[in-house]
Amino acid sequence: DAGITQSPRHKVTETGTPVTLRCHQTENHRYMYWYRQDPGHGLRLIHYSYGVKDTDKGEVSDGYSVSRSKTEDFLLTLESATSSQTSVYFCAIRPTSGGVNEQFFGPGTRLTVL
Amino acid sequence: SQQGEEDPQALSIQEGENATMNCSYKTSINNLQWYRQNSGRGLVHLILIRSNEREKHSGRLRVTLDTSKKSSSLLITASRAADTASYFCATDSGAGSYQLTFGKGTKLSVIP
């Protein structure tokens, strides 16, 4: 599982509340990604990070912010959750050594915004 | 916007049969990858094919790539019930940060 954990695994919250999802890795990989998965859309990239304090937007970044103050943690924040942000969120890492090109995914967080 | 589009959206076959899934994409790529997702789980990498390769094998998996048609296919031979999952293609354009753009997936059901 490439040492990736996500917390919480499930969360139900109300519209307008802030929510933070955490992705933690144990292998000090430089690249980390946040995706959301919705029926009929596959996975869409929200934000990604290429190092501590280095982040950039993905395809569907509106309404989301991220932070990476330590190599091992990549946080995704919904400042004011909306029902359209109900989704399953996946974190992924990409190793940068050994010629590996694939991404490794965490188990996902199912978020419901009522 | 989605780069890869899988076809068919859903596929149901009998155990022992072969399953073929197709992926089309829009822009030039550095490589194309296939992932599998079991229900309620994260994605798992299956196989990668580079833009200068035409075919690649890994166990019961065979991937082809036609860059002139911007398409790829994944063949699973002698399918098993355990192959039941959703399969996604993902393209790497070679731009910085190794971003992948995923298709919407093919849901494969293998009937014992």
> Using omega within 30 degrees of 0 as the cis cutoff, is the peptide bond preceding A95 cis?
no
**Mean pLDDT rounded to a whole number for chain A:** 93
Q: Spell out which residues of chain A touch residue B4, defining contact as CB-CB under 8 Å.
A: 42
pLDDT in tens, chain B (112 residues): 446 678 889 999 999 999 999 999 998 999 999 999 999 899 999 999 999 999 999 999 999 999 999 999 999 999 999 999 999 999 988 776 788 999 999 999 999 9
The helix/strand count (H/E) of chain B reads as 0, 11
Q: Spell out which residues of chain B touch residue A59, defining contact as CB-CB under 8 Å.
A: 1, 101
Nearest CA in chain A to B1: A59
Mean pLDDT of A89-105: 85
Please tell me the predicted confidence (pLDDT) of residue B1.
43
Which residue of B41, B42, B99 is in closest CB contact with A48? B99
Please tell me the predicted confidence (pLDDT) of residue B97.
74
Which residue of A35, A42, A56 is in closest CB contact with B2? A42
Burial A32-63 (b: 16+ CB within 10 A, else e): bbbbbbeeeebbbbbbbbbeeeebeebbbbee
Give the separation between CA A79 and CA A63, rounded to whole angstroms: 7
Taking only the tens place, the pLDDT of each residue in A5-58 is 999 999 999 999 999 999 999 988 999 999 999 988 889 999 999 999 999 999
Please tell me the predicted confidence (pLDDT) of residue A98.
62
Kind of pairing between the strands at B55-58 and B31-37? unpaired
The answer to whether A43 contacts B99, with C-beta atoms less than 8 Å apart, is no
Please tell me the predicted confidence (pLDDT) of residue B3.
61
Q: Which of B74, B82, B76 is nearest to B111 (CA)?
A: B82
Nearest CA in chain B to A45: B101
